[in-house]
Structure 1
């Protein structure tokens, strides 16, 4: 039990730091709405409340993938998104964190139903070399929405999806890595929108992903 409690406390601290990182980077919507989760053991996850400005570890709840709250408290507005997070964890066993935001520029792509191309180096470096696909709209937390997320994840080797008419869903191995990727995606979306004023964004040259991986490996050696 002690090991389980230690893991929970560690993950809670990591989620709080990731939430703070998102606000510091300025990628949150005016409302500050977001939900962050971390995978625990079995079919359990640690989930934040719907608004994470000033988040503390005590506010997080331990929830079963089926939505049953095992520890802590969860408002209904947060409980209905458990299925969205669980769908990612079930589809991607290696994923340790899921973050959902209404980041303004990425959400613009979601509202426009436009996939977001990878044309900025930070997106390459932080794990999103593919175009970010769009999941067809469904009411938040509904079977339609969850089936849509699962289907897109089966079709695309992506670390993020745009939820049509809703927002952004990003996933990765740790809270910090997932937050870094989310920031990179929001910056990429903003760069795409800005580039339209000067003729439009341009794709990377062939071999860009391999060149970035080589540079990263060289710096780490």
Structure 2
């Protein structure tokens, strides 16, 4: 695959993932989000500062050092390059990162409360544990990035974090899978808040993850 073909393919995947988030109804009123995809060890594709109606040609190519190599970024996106790059450095297997202000998940971030894994979609789509909270720091600052790197080191199997007083950050093998997990986490946060009104959510029984994986294997084998 040529570099141009790979870039175009990743760009289309990001545009499709952004559209799927709006279709699923998991975005904040503002529609704020930023999405990226790994191109190689030095570069990533990043949304330019808006995602509603995102087209592949709108994306910018940036280096992990923050340099814009192709396209253009608004300052609102330039601030968060370090946040995305920190995930790619900590997780070599990650191919995409999505940040949203999804309302229910952000409620947990504002409350500084980890989101438990109590819904089956979270098990199925890659977050078989609670979503931890990263301590607050100014957006894109060294404090924020160091805090996130520390949580990623402490929680090597998490595929998402809540950014305190800010929002949700999710990462996965590709844009589509990452968007699926965003939806699963937002739906789970909504369910947790609703369940609180009728006595509170209940944990899965022991062995639930293994049972779900066995069920998936039976269908896909």
TM range (shorter): over 0.9
Distance 1:50 1:72 in 2: 12
Secondary structure of 1:198 counterpart: coil
Q: Determine whether 1:165 maps to 2:168.
A: no
Q: Is 2:49–2:73's contact at 8 Å kept on the other side of the alignment?
A: no
2:23 corresponding residue in structure 1:
24
The structural deviation recorded for 1:158 is: 0.3
Q: Determine whether 1:75 maps to 2:110.
A: no
Which runs of no fewer than 5 residues in structure 2 stay unpaired? none
2:206 corresponding residue in structure 1:
206
Distance 2:115 2:89 in 1: 24
1:192 corresponding residue in structure 2:
192
Distance 1:17 1:159 in 2: 20
The aligned length equals 220
Comparing 97-106 and 73-82, the one that deviates more: 73-82
The structural deviation recorded for 1:133 is: 0.1
Q: Where does 1:147-162 land on structure 2 (aligned, <5 Å)?
A: 147-156=146-155, 157-162=157-162
RMSD, aligned α-carbons: 0.7
Q: Is 2:82–2:140's contact at 8 Å kept on the other side of the alignment?
A: yes
1:126 corresponding residue in structure 2:
125
Q: Determine whether 1:6 maps to 2:5.
A: yes
Q: Is 2:63–2:69's contact at 8 Å kept on the other side of the alignment?
A: yes
Give the 4+ runs in structure 1 shifted more than 4 A.
Answer: none
Secondary structure of 1:171 counterpart: strand
Q: Is 2:13–2:176's contact at 8 Å kept on the other side of the alignment?
A: yes
1:101 corresponding residue in structure 2:
100
The structural deviation recorded for 1:141 is: 0.5
1:183 corresponding residue in structure 2:
183
Q: How high is the TM-score relative to the length of structure 2?
A: 0.99
2:39 corresponding residue in structure 1:
40
Q: Is 2:106–2:165's contact at 8 Å kept on the other side of the alignment?
A: yes
Distance 2:143 2:158 in 1: 20
The structural deviation recorded for 1:41 is: 1.6
